[in-house]
Amino acid sequence: MLAACGQRQPAPGAAPAPGRAPAQSSFLALDRDPAQCRAALDRLGTRASLMPGRQGPAGCGYAWAVLRTPASTGPRWLGEPPATSCSVAAALSWWEQSVVLPAARRHLGETVAAIRHMGSYGCRTIGNRQGGQPSEHAKANAIDIAGFRLASGREISVLKDWNGSARDRAFLRDVRNGACPLFGTVLSPDYNAAHADHLHFDQMPRSTGFCR
């Protein structure tokens, strides 16, 4: 069901680690069908509520979204859980299980208990330019990740630790790089100053992902 281009790809969650990351297209397919979305999230251990759409001004809004519930496996959200497109939610779950948790074990010797985010939906244009193209945030098709709370309680933030200790730097680069095959766009502090304090992930459909 999640195969892309007729090739058999591991379904998200079927083999959380190790394994080849699913193509972005296999996540995008989930946005077309809430039932398929729910089935894919179930396989990832992600419990989610389907949320009604919202209509904003200037082309903002979305038809439906998913909201992860605390019954899900894996790290929880710090702060209000964000409603996102299904493709963002499913790619995040795959990323947490197959990228974030293994990277934390490898570099930090512990697990990630929670992830701090800076929201998904926002009615704005790319780079907040007046009259510009709507951001993927305007469709809840993006998420901004600010940091991670480890099981010990220590927090790693993109802002403070991107150029921090060797192990924190290695962890943050691995979680950035591991997101690249899963999302259409991945932006980090390496991209520009506007991303100094977060990792931006979105599911803009692209033939080749944009990863900086």
Q: Kindly list the residues in this chain that would bind Zn ion in the complex (CB under 5 A).
A: 142, 144, 200
Question: In the bound complex, which residue of the shown chain has the CB atom lying closest to Zn ion?
Answer: 200
Quickly list DSSP for the chain: ---BTTB--PPTTTS-SSSPPPPHHHHHGGGG-HHHHHHHHHHTT--EEEEEEEE-STT-EEEEEEEE-TTSSSPEEESSPPEE-HHHHHHHHHHIIIIIHHHHHHHHSS-EEEEEE--S----BGGG-TT-PBPGGGGT-EEEEEEEEETTS-EEEHHHHTTSSHHHHHHHHHHHHHHTTTSSEEE-TTT-GGGTT-EEEE----SS-EE-
Nearer to Zn ion, 144 or 168 (CB): 144
Nearer to Zn ion, 107 or 198 (CB): 198
Q: Tell me how far, at minimum, the Cβ of 27 lies from Zn ion, in Å.
A: 17
Expressed in angstroms, the distance from the first to the final Cα of the chain is 30
Q: Tell me how far, at minimum, the Cβ of 201 lies from Zn ion, in Å.
A: 8
Nearer to Zn ion, 118 or 170 (CB): 118
Burial of 157 by CB count in 10 Å (0-12 exposed, 13-18 middle, 19+ buried)? middle
Q: Tell me how far, at minimum, the Cβ of 144 lies from Zn ion, in Å.
A: 4
Nearer to Zn ion, 45 or 56 (CB): 56
Tokens of 176: 């950035």
Q: Tell me how far, at minimum, the Cβ of 118 lies from Zn ion, in Å.
A: 7
Nearer to Zn ion, 43 or 212 (CB): 212
Q: Tell me how far, at minimum, the Cβ of 120 lies from Zn ion, in Å.
A: 8
Nearer to Zn ion, 107 or 139 (CB): 139
Q: Tell me how far, at minimum, the Cβ of 17 lies from Zn ion, in Å.
A: 26
